[in-house]
Amino acid sequence: MIIKRSFSKPVLALFSVFLVTIVFFIGYTIGAEQRTRSLVPSGEGRVVGLQSVDSRSKDVEFAMFWDVWNLVKETYYKQPVSDKDLYYGALKGMVEGTGNPYTTFFNPEETKSFLSDLEQSFEGIGAEIGIKEDRLQVVAPLKGSPSEQAGLQPGDWIVTIDGTETIDMSVEKAVSLIRGKKGTVVKLEVSREGLDELKTIEITRDKIIVDSVKWEIDDKKIMTISISTFNGDTVGLFNQAVQDALTKDVKGIIVDVRNNPGGLLTTAVDIASSWTGYQPVLLERSKDKEKVFPGIKQARLEGVKTVILVNGGSASASEIFAGALQDYGFATLVGTQTFGKGSVQDYRQLPDGSSVKITTAEWFTPKGRGINETGITPDIEVSYSIEQLKDGIDPQQETAVSILLGTYQAKADGEIDSK
């Protein structure tokens, strides 16, 4: 038996409108995806041949990829050639084609190494490294780490790792060579400003446990809070320091983020909120939108005189924190120019155990000052020589104390007087 249903004209009209709307939405979505995929830098052609062959002169013929693949498989002198190595190598090369040092593809083995970096303990030398001016550079040795004890310094250019040259080497590859079992030795050759020849530094690997926050109050009732990294335990420890500062009625706070390579964005926002309250802490700008990250809690330290110590090893989350407080005038920054790592990476794991990290945006201070490749300029620039370090003299700390006590006077040469 066949049952027929009849519909009134209003119902049919409504259904038609609904159908047209759905078709329009699907068409718009597909069109938007196709437009995004077809975007190329000005003056360049597209990669074609994914579905068909196109011989337009400005375009790159994707079929050439398979020509090269087959050529390597057929003629490379060491046979057989691994399909998997060629595949992962192609993906890595594709991602590196962006020209951004923080946009990276990890094969499954490299992914395991990268994920271990996020843990609060690991075996290695305890140093953050990055890419600057297309070279591998030490951002900062962690305080008390084997790298600091061996004499590695922020700003050192790493030329070789156990004899392997680092030209065009990614950060992830360098980390994989430097990491190793506790008790083993890694030999680094570094180039350092002021030295005429390379310096060899041998570092014995150890288990690195990141103790992210330490604090003390001196006899002048000045509290110094040293934050070595912004990780999972930082907020809890920092809150203890804040409670200590408030109950003991300190005259001022020095926050030392020198040689702090960064860490978790959420942690930096949380810590900054102790001064900014619910005001914006940073801006994130991508290709098509701007996102505001507001503070997340009450400003418990509002009105407390604060100085932040920074240097070339202060990077990423450290720069977000320092830049926000500087923008609002909640803190005076003392030291030297920060590193300039202000970009956002989207990390995604892939089905086969590999992963990809793609730069999707850049960070700006609440007033819109760029951080990436620029860094944060301190309010008062004070250098810190190796000789002073060896003699236990800290002119940056001394400057900070004098500011909080109201005895700071600037000299023409940048030194200080304390009344």
Note whether residue 349 is domain-resident: yes
Tell me the CATH number at 277.
3.90.226.10
Same domain, 203 and 218: no
CB 301 within 8 A of CB 275: yes
Same domain, 411 and 342: yes
Out of 156, 206, 256, 327, which one is annotated catalytic? 327
Phi, psi of 275, rounded to the nearest 5 degrees: -110, -40
- pLDDT of 215 > 70? The answer is yes
Q: What is the DSSP string of 188-206?
A: EEEE-TT-SS-EEEEEE-E
Of residues 87, 109, 98, the one with CA closest to residue 131 = 98
pLDDT at 381: 96
pLDDT tens-digit series, residues 360-405:
999 999 999 999 999 999 999 999 776 776 677 899 999 999 999 9
* Domain tally, the chain: 3
- pLDDT of 207 > 60? The answer is yes
End residue of a domain, out of 209, 226, 252: 209
Note whether residue 227 is domain-resident: yes
Same domain, 351 and 399: yes
CB 353 within 8 A of CB 362: no
The total of other beta-carbon atoms located within 10 Å of residue 356's CB is: 19
Note whether residue 71 is domain-resident: yes
Tell me the CATH number at 127.
2.30.42.10
Same domain, 186 and 316: no
pLDDT at 4: 45
Same domain, 311 and 323: yes
Same domain, 76 and 169: no
Helices (H) and strands (E) in the chain, counts: 11, 23
Sequence-ordered list of residues with C-beta below 8 angstroms from that of 137, at least 6 positions apart, any chain: 129, 130, 131, 155, 156, 157, 158
How far is the CA of 369 from the CAs of 44, 323, 373, in angstroms? 31, 8, 12
Sequence-ordered list of residues with C-beta below 8 angstroms from that of 206, at least 6 positions apart, any chain: 123, 124, 125, 126, 145, 146, 182, 183
271 three-state secondary structure: helix
End residue of a domain, out of 158, 184, 209: 209
Query: 102 or 226: whose pLDDT is higher?
Result: 226
Query: 92 or 59: whose pLDDT is higher?
Result: 92
Same domain, 144 and 91: no
Same domain, 262 and 150: no
Structure tokens at 295: 């503070």
% residues pLDDT > 70 (the chain): 81
The pTM is what?
A: 0.69
Largest Cα separation within the chain, whole Å, is 105
Burial of 403 (0-12, 13-18, 19+ CB in 10 A): buried
Note down the domain range covering 203: 121-209
Same domain, 262 and 283: yes
Note whether residue 42 is domain-resident: no
CB 268 within 8 A of CB 259: no
Note whether residue 74 is domain-resident: yes
What's the sign of the alpha-carbon dihedral 177, 78, 86, 41? positive
Distance CA 259, CA 313 (A): 4
Least confident residue range of 129-133, 184-188, 242-246: 129-133
pLDDT tens-digit series, residues 6-23:
545 555 555 555 555 565
Note whether residue 365 is domain-resident: yes
Note whether residue 387 is domain-resident: yes
Same domain, 292 and 398: yes
Of residues 130, 134, 191, the one with CA closest to residue 159 = 191
Q: Give the single-character DSSP code of 47.
A: E
Least confident residue range of 130-139, 224-233, 298-307: 130-139
Note whether residue 110 is domain-resident: no
Out of 92, 173, 305, 341, which one is annotated catalytic? 341
End residue of a domain, out of 169, 186, 209: 209
Distance CA 263, CA 53 (A): 46
Same domain, 172 and 276: no
- pLDDT of 168 > 90? The answer is no
**Does the active-site annotation cover 316?**
yes
Out of 314, 316, 343, 354, which one is annotated catalytic? 316
Q: String of b and e for 130-158 (b: at least 16 CB within 10 Å)?
A: bbbeebbbbbbbbbebbbbebebbbbbbb
Which residue reads 């209003």 in tokens? 10
Instruction: Compute the C-alpha angle 374/375/376, nearest 5°.
Output: 130
How far is the CA of 263 from the CAs of 97, 307, 347, in angstroms? 26, 21, 14
Structure tokens at 132: 């600057």
- pLDDT of 416 > 50? The answer is no
Same domain, 290 and 365: yes
pLDDT tens-digit series, residues 265-320:
999 999 999 999 999 999 999 988 999 999 999 999 999 999 999 999 899 999 99
